[in-house]
Amino acid sequence: MILPVILSGGSGSRLWPVSREHYPKQFLNLHKEDVSLLQEAALRINGIAHSGEPLIVCNEEHRFLVAEQMHQVGFNDSKIILEPCGRNTAPALALAALTASMVNPDAELLVMPADHVIKDTQAFAHAVEQGQRLSQEGKLVTFGITPSSPHTGYGYIKKGQALAQGYSVSAFIEKPDASAAEQYLNSGDYFWNSGIFLFKASSFLAALGQYAPDILQSCQAAFDARTEDMDFLRIDETSFAQCRSESIDYAVMEHTEQAAVVPMSPGWSDIGAWDALHELRSANDKENGNAIHGDVMLHEARNSLVYSESRLVAAVGVDNLVIVETDDAVLVADRRQAQDTKLIVNALKAAGRKEFQSHQQVYRPWGHYRTMVLTDSFQVKEIVVNPGGKLSLQMHHHRAEHWVVVQGTARVTQGEGHGDTDNLRSFLLSEDQSTYIPLGTVHRLENPGVIPLKLIEVQTGSYLGEDDIVRYNDKYGRE
């Protein structure tokens, strides 16, 4: 039995402004219009024989996004491991292997990043089948992509001795310069490093204990102190924070003699930056080499990516550009420097600006909200509550709120005075009805209906920050 492990810990900063820390690229529909990259990774396992529901490793901030997106594509029993802090792939996989070992120490783990594209799922399934024959012998299998160009944005794997299936690994090589990449392509001895692996949980833990025993020790301690909450496996923060950050390549694969590589050509892309998305989508425009998304108009444009989320974007006479529009930011870049988008994100972070971290539309376990107007003394939001969704019973010290229902039915719970929780009353509001929540009044909003509840919220007060909240209870376990 194969246990798919999906690593969903990245922030996708090179795809800013569409990908941001609170809603990164794995949750976006960048390849297909109807599913996110994370959902594509999960659905990919349907073509793998004898595979179970995926085990997903993500950070605490994204836990409800992961659970909701898995439910949307029919995976209702997936276990989700919550990393209290990012420590790279070796510790993440240690947690996954320890989890799998509770049921079967020799479970075969098929490790996949959550944010990659694989077009040919049959070719991928065939490569996995070949890899199984090696992993069952105790090999630590990685999958190498047969290179189609001298790409300098990927790491490379040099093949060694031929095995019954695939090759032993001669070397792992960091991203090369253009000259070295050209040599690698011409030699035929190198593959792109896909970051996809297959091995027994017991084989990986044994190798980790041999080559990085401190990582295994920290992860074991953090795992032993775990707690379970709904779909989530919460790892102990104190123990895990002491673990050093390291990739699986550096921690294990570069040292072990059991590393093997299976070549494949499944139409793979890591969508690491905007130029990769252009390459993926521009195949539809043979004449001009453009890739577009959203409401876009072009004239005499060549070899460009134009991506619109909220309004019309027009481009005239441009060549080799990346133009990306969201409702609060616009990126314009030379496509050859698309990797440097991360430098803008770093600058935003250093300046204390929120655009590196969150969108105007912010997701919560009950639904989402979008800021429409924000001033020093008032704020206007559109709030959408999913059917059955319920906000926490809460109170604000510095703001009052006025709610107007525009779609669906709202159940409002409200206290009688400042901080009152003893005399709560509930009532329903339908479309075009409204209510007022005075400053300091305990309240809750929920959707008892079967369609999304939409309302307009007007906040007034001296401080409108999201941290002005006192929660009395919350169905999602938030404090």
Contact, 305 vs 274, CB < 8 A? yes
Range name among 13-17, 420-424, 451-455, 458-462 with the lowest pLDDT average: 420-424
Give the mean pLDDT of 81-107.
Answer: 96
Reported as half-sphere exposure (CB side, CA atoms, 13 A), residue 181 has a value of: 17
The residue ranking higher by pLDDT, 404 or 477, is 404
Closest CA to 179 of 148, 152, 144: 152
Residue 150's pLDDT is 95
Residue 401's pLDDT is 97
First vs last C-alpha separation in the chain: 38
114: Cβ contacts below 8 Å, ≥ 6 apart = 6, 7, 8, 10, 26, 37, 38, 41, 56, 58
* pLDDT tens digits for range 147-173: 999 999 899 999 999 998 999 999 999
Q: How would residue 224 be classed by pLDDT, with cut points 50, 70 and 90?
A: very high
* pLDDT tens digits for range 258-305: 999 999 999 999 999 999 999 999 888 889 999 999 999 999 999 999
Give the mean pLDDT of 314-318.
Answer: 98
Question: What percent of the chain is predicted at pLDDT more than 70?
Answer: 100
Mean pLDDT of all residues belonging to the chain: 95
Q: Whole-angstrom Cα distance, residue 284 to residue 280?
A: 9
Give the mean pLDDT of 1-20.
Answer: 94
Please give the C-alpha separations between residue 313 and each of 15, 299, 422, in angstroms, as whole numbers. Answer: 18, 12, 54
Structural domain boundaries in the chain: 2-269, 274-350, 361-472
Question: What percent of the chain is predicted at pLDDT more than 90?
Answer: 92
Cis preceding-peptide flag for 17 (omega within 30 of 0):
yes
Q: Say if residue 142 is exposed, middle or buried (CB neighbours under 10 Å; 0-12, 13-18, 19+).
A: buried
Residue 417 above 90 pLDDT? no
Residue 230 above 80 pLDDT? no
Residue 464's pLDDT is 95
Residue 283's pLDDT is 80
Contact, 30 vs 270, CB < 8 A? no
Residue 11 above 90 pLDDT? no
299: left (phi over 0), alpha (psi -120 to 50) or beta: beta
Q: Say if residue 466 is exposed, middle or buried (CB neighbours under 10 Å; 0-12, 13-18, 19+).
A: exposed
Q: Whole-angstrom Cα distance, residue 25 to residue 89?
A: 18
Residue 419's pLDDT is 86
**What tokens were used for 93?**
């996989």
* pLDDT tens digits for range 12-46: 899 999 999 999 999 999 999 999 999 999 999 99
Q: Whole-angstrom Cα distance, residue 248 to residue 219?
A: 14
**Span 361-472 CATH architecture:** Sandwich (2.60)
**Span 2-269 CATH architecture:** Alpha-Beta Complex (3.90)
Give the mean pLDDT of 196-219.
Answer: 98
